[in-house]
Structure 1
């Protein structure tokens, strides 16, 4: 009984450490390139080193952390090359999902999303409004996934979106980009509602091209700032 209780406690500690570390990486509390030391994180989280070590392994498996020779683990950096790789995969998956969703749609649901995205720019003047816009985008993604009705595609997209959370922080305080993204999402929703697979695919392509360009510029600017500080 005691052994079972210890195992249960260990599992809870491991899950707790993983959930907290993952959240901190996605939120930027643990910044890209930050060193992940077992001792430091176990003290910060109030758990032993073993749960932290197990949590680190899961972060590496997700691509959120990576080994660095001589330094143990670091939070995976955000760089232009990684962005390009991510968006290559994202476009292939999301274009296919939009096509399937247009063919298998719930027209009423996507019409409601189109109306919601049309109203979204009015929410951008407050933190609560920003949070609502991001929540609306997540709800829309889930609706497209459900309409596509392909569990393998949904699983692949879930992995991609984990990394998009980190990248999207770069646009959080850029109202112009957020307004443009809302209009792009509105067009995607309208195309799916109309059952127009070609238009839906094209609208996704345009949205991702603009998103890739915007975030690429942000990452290049951030890299230039770091190089200037280090000079």
Structure 2
């Protein structure tokens, strides 16, 4: 049986998306999670059309889970539904990306302050472990997807350590546009190494109980992509 890349090479068409529904979980949530992941990773590109019937076939579900997934994705601004016409992956909204960045910066600054004030150095243990995993992943082939996942887990681990896991979930639900910007920026030469360096700087500052240095490290880290937004837009004008 041909692999995904072999299928593409042999047919000249995009390979079929393989996804197995777990019958123990609500199908609509699984379809939503997978479609969202594909949109955020840019597998499904801004402006690309989505066929409800094709998705029904891909996921092996009825139309109801796909419809419900579309409702959730539209609520997040990740798709645009034109009734009786078409459904498109939304273009990246710079204004919304900036708004989410403002919220995220405010929350992460407070998370950093709480952790830096604490005497419990074990609070950064999980984030430190994730940072070490990122460092190892960067030395492998096809590292981007895994590195990106670990990046999200790093920030989630700090939020959880500060007792703000639910607030982090709220931020994630609003991060579709800024996350797509980051994923366009990540392959740039030196960007991943900068992310690693920034993560280490945040951890070192927290573990030194230095609140000012922690805040500076967080601001520096979170400002990186938006500072490069003009360059990103010039490279991918059709995505915006």
TM-score range, shorter chain: 0.7 to 0.9
Counterpart of 2:4 in structure 1 is: none
Task: Verify the 8 A CA contact 1:184 1:203 in the aligned structure 2.
Answer: yes
Cα deviation for residue 90 of structure 1 reads 1.9
Q: 1:49 aligned to 51, 63, 74, which one? A: 63
Q: Which runs of no fewer than 5 residues in structure 1 stay unpaired? A: 1-8
- Aligned twin of 1:107: 121
For the residue of structure 2 that corresponds to 1:73, the secondary structure is: strand
From 144, 157, 179, the counterpart of 2:171: 157
Shift of 1:164: 4.6
Paired with 1:133 and 1:24, the residues of 2 have a C-alpha distance of 16
Alignment of 1:166-205 (within 5 A): 166-205=180-219
Measure, in 2, the Cα distance between the counterparts of 1:20 and 1:191: 36
1:87 pairs with one of 101, 117, 125: 101
- Counterpart CA distance in 2 for 1:37 and 1:136 is 31
Choose which of 123, 134, 143 in structure 1 pairs with 2:148: 134
What displacement does 1:189 show? 0.8
Tell whether the 8 Å contact from 2:112 to 2:214 is kept in structure 1 after alignment: yes
Q: State the Cα distance separating 1:186 from its structure 2 match.
A: 1.2
What does the per-residue CA deviation read over 1:189-224, in whole Å, with 9 as the maximum and x for residues that have no partner?
11111122222112111112223213452133211x
The equivalent of 2:18 in structure 1 is none
| Deviation at residue 79 of structure 1 after TM alignment | 3.7
Deviation at 1:107, TM superposition (A): 2.1
Q: Deviations over 1:74-121 (max 9, x none)?
A: 212214333222222222222222112222364255378569758956
For residues 131 and 31 of structure 2, the distance between their equivalents in structure 1, rounded to whole angstroms, comes to 36
Shift of 1:56: 0.7
Cα offsets for 1:122-173 (capped at 9, x unmatched): 7534335545543443342123112321355333333245555433321342
Matched, 1:217 2:224: no
Q: Which residue of 1 aligns with 2:160?
A: 146
Aligned residues: 216
Contact conserved, 2:96 with 2:177, CA < 8 A, in 1? no
Unaligned stretches of 5+ residues in structure 2: 1-22
C-alpha spacing 1:62/1:206, structure 2 compared with 1 (3 Å) = same
Determine which of 8, 29, 38 is the counterpart of 1:24.
Answer: 38
Partner of 1:6: none
Q: Does 1:73 align with 2:87?
A: yes
Q: Rate the CA distance shift 1:63–1:14 in 2: closer, same or farther, 3 A.
A: same
CA RMSD of aligned residues (A): 3.3
